[in-house]
Structure 1
Amino acid sequence: MPEQITPPEALAKAVQIAGGQAPFGRVVGVTQGAVWQRLKAHKPAAAGWVLRAEEATGISRHALRPDIYPVEQVAAPTDLEPLR
């Protein structure tokens, strides 16, 4: 089972992969200060940052904001006949 990280941890990892706060800010279209504020407050990525961050860093939208992009759970079929 893959290790679960919190959304703020996912943001910090994305910033690291991007090469720091300023490069990450350029990727998502905000200032370095806006990135710093999110990191300092231990908040997840802003909703508007998620898709660009995912594309640039490979950190999944599901990890960055699971409240907006939940992982879909596929339910097992219920109409199967019992095995004999």
Structure 2
Amino acid sequence: MQLQDYLATAERGEMARLAKFVKVAQPIVSFWVNGKRQVPAERCPEIERFTKGKVTCEELRPDVNWAVLRNSGK
């Protein structure tokens, strides 16, 4: 699921809660959602946790090899 779709179907105020969770200003999240800025790779795992896996790192940043990073902790 795309972040934009997740937030469109979420409860009111979810964007603000996400911004607080990842410790950025709400307009930054809005920029991510509207494609004005790319989600920084270091924020992707936090967003995936916040959305309980509905929005994955792979969906947020398909240019990053997440398989390598996911397997590095083993």
Alignment TM class, shorter chain as reference? 0.5 to 0.7
Q: Does residue 39 in structure 1 map to residue 18 in structure 2?
A: no
Return the index of the structure with the highest Cα Rg.
Answer: 1
The equivalent of 1:66 in structure 2 is 62
Give aligned pairs, total: 64
Cα gap change, 1:11/1:44 in structure 2, threshold over 3 Å: closer, same or farther? farther
Q: Which runs of 5+ in 2 are unaligned?
A: 69-74
Structure 1 residue corresponding to 2:42, chosen from 48, 51, 65: 48
**2:50 maps to amino acid:** A
CA distance in 2, matches of 1:38, 1:24: 12
* CA-atom RMSD in angstroms: 2.7
Larger helix share, 1 or 2: 2
Q: Does residue 20 in structure 1 map to residue 18 in structure 2?
A: no
Q: TM-score, normalised on structure 2?
A: 0.61
Percent identity of the aligned residues? 23
Cα gap change, 1:24/1:62 in structure 2, threshold over 3 Å: closer, same or farther? same
Q: TM-score, normalised on structure 1?
A: 0.55
